[in-house]
Amino acid sequence: MLELLIVLIVLLLLVAGWLAWRVAALGGKLESSPAELEKGLEQKHREMLKDLHGGLAQLGDRLGSNFGESSDRLRNTLAEELKQTRDTLHALKLSLSENLGESREAMVKQLAATTEQLNAKIDQRLEQISGKVSERLDEGFKKTNETFVNVMQRLATIDEAQKKIDSLTGSVVSLQELLGDKKSRGAFGEVQLEALVRNVMPTGAFEMQYTLSNGTRADCVLKLPEPTGMVAVDSKFPLENYHRMFEAGVNEADRSLAQKAFRSDIKKHVDAIASKYIIAHETSDGAVMFVPAEAVFAEIHAYHGEVVDYANARRVWIVSPTTLMAVLNTARAVLKDVETRKQIHVIKESLARLAVEFGRFDERMKKLADHIRQANEDVEKIQVTGGKISQQFQRIEAAEIDDEPAADNVVRLADER
């Protein structure tokens, strides 16, 4: 149908072109004879329009009939194609239904097989997990039992320790009661002092309960070399006000009074030691005040520094069990150094004798080296002679004896030696 329209348009253009050409020609003739030609031209123009109208009408009828036929053919063609398409779609639908059914059955079978395999693997895995869980539970039960046994043993140990703590508490209470008494506290300090001194110092370097020339008796004296001399050590110490400082329920005013009394007691004790145990030309110019408790020693040095300064000014040295150990070790080192100096002449004599013996050793060593060198040279000569003898034996065995006289050979061997 599109082709017919194109042909129609081309024909119309040709007719329009021809009409324009005719109008132009008639226009030229009208200019020559306008009156005559106008009539003829009008008549011809009418005839031509009539013919053109008739041709166009015929062409329109032809185009209409052709268009109708083309429409009918196109309609029939489309109807046929639609029918074929419906048939094809129906067949495809049937095929898809069959394929889907087969696929569904195959998928169901495959899914069933996969499900069975999966169930088997799950069962196997569950068995493994059950076995491991059982093993872990058994191990857990064993460890729990062991832990329970250990806990019971430790509880038993704790019970024993609690009993020991209870007994130790009783011992501490009794010790506190013991230290509360002045005589008992003095005896405790003397025992502790004697134990420390006997463990560190040699026997002749100290003496317990030594009586001085002024009639006073020192708990211990350390016999050190000059210029230090004899040092007196006192182990008695006032603790009544110290205990009152830390009693429960004491108010601040009473505690402050107890602190002042404690400082006063220490100063009095320092004065007593300085007056009793420092004697010119008999003892050292200082004495030692032994405090048998580290807590008391720490309290004095931490909160009562003026008391320490006062004691130092009076040449009284306050020591605890720990610091006394340091003092005793220093004293032992001094004693050892003094004894070493006393024996220095013996060491010098021994070194002189050792120098003489070393000179003899050096001479004898040189002689031995000469003998070894001579023996080495003799061994080398013997090896040379042995090598020559071996060569002669080899020549004899190979039947290569020289024609030289035997005497000449003997002389030659002697020269070679």
User: How far, in whole angstroms, is CA 365 from its chain's centroid?
Assistant: 61
Q: Can you give the CATH number for the domain in which 289 is found? A: 3.40.1350
| 94 domain-assigned | no
Q: How far apart are CA 127 and CA 239, in angstroms?
A: 78
Asked if 241 and 301 sit in the same domain, the reply is yes
State the pLDDT at residue 7: 65
Contact 216, 277 (CB under 8 A): yes
State the pLDDT at residue 251: 85
Question: Three-state SS string across 343-395, please?
Answer: CHHHHHHHHHHHHHHHHHHHHHHHHHHHHHHHHHHHHHHHHHHHHHHHHHHHH
| 96 domain-assigned | no
Contact 296, 338 (CB under 8 A): no
Q: The tokens of 35 are what?
A: 């009156």
Q: The tokens of 238 are what?
A: 């006032």
Specify the number of domains making up the chain.
4
Asked if 194 and 321 sit in the same domain, the reply is yes
Q: How far apart are CA 250 and CA 223, in angstroms?
A: 45
Asked if 135 and 275 sit in the same domain, the reply is no
Contact 30, 4 (CB under 8 A): no
Asked if 54 and 140 sit in the same domain, the reply is no
For residue 222, the cross-strand partners are 206, 231
How are beta strands 217-223 and 230-234 bridged, if at all? antiparallel
Sequence letter at residue 260: K
Contact 206, 226 (CB under 8 A): no
Sequence letter at residue 221: V
Asked if 388 and 301 sit in the same domain, the reply is no
Q: Give the model confidence (pLDDT) of 75-124 as tens digits.
A: 788 778 788 878 888 887 787 777 777 777 777 777 777 777 777 777 77
Asked if 224 and 323 sit in the same domain, the reply is yes
| 79 domain-assigned | no
| 326 domain-assigned | yes
Residues of the chain with pLDDT under 70: 1-8, 10, 16-18, 20-41, 45, 52, 56, 59-60, 63-64, 66-68, 70-71, 126, 130, 133-134, 137, 140-141, 144-145, 148, 151-152, 155, 159, 161-188, 399-417
Contact 3, 14 (CB under 8 A): no
Sequence letter at residue 62: R
Q: How far apart are CA 320 and CA 192, in angstroms?
A: 11
Q: The tokens of 350 are what?
A: 């021994």
Asked if 325 and 361 sit in the same domain, the reply is no
Asked if 240 and 372 sit in the same domain, the reply is no
* Residue 197 structural domain: 186-342
State the pLDDT at residue 73: 78
Asked if 229 and 146 sit in the same domain, the reply is no
Residue at a domain's end among 161, 180, 199 = 180
User: How far, in whole angstroms, is CA 76 from its chain's centroid?
Assistant: 92
Residue at a domain's end among 126, 161, 180 = 180
Q: Give the model confidence (pLDDT) of 294-332 as tens digits.
A: 888 888 888 888 999 999 999 999 999 989 888 889 888
Q: How far apart are CA 188 and CA 157, in angstroms?
A: 32
Sequence letter at residue 382: I
Asked if 319 and 304 sit in the same domain, the reply is yes
Residue at a domain's end among 152, 180, 208 = 180
Asked if 128 and 205 sit in the same domain, the reply is no
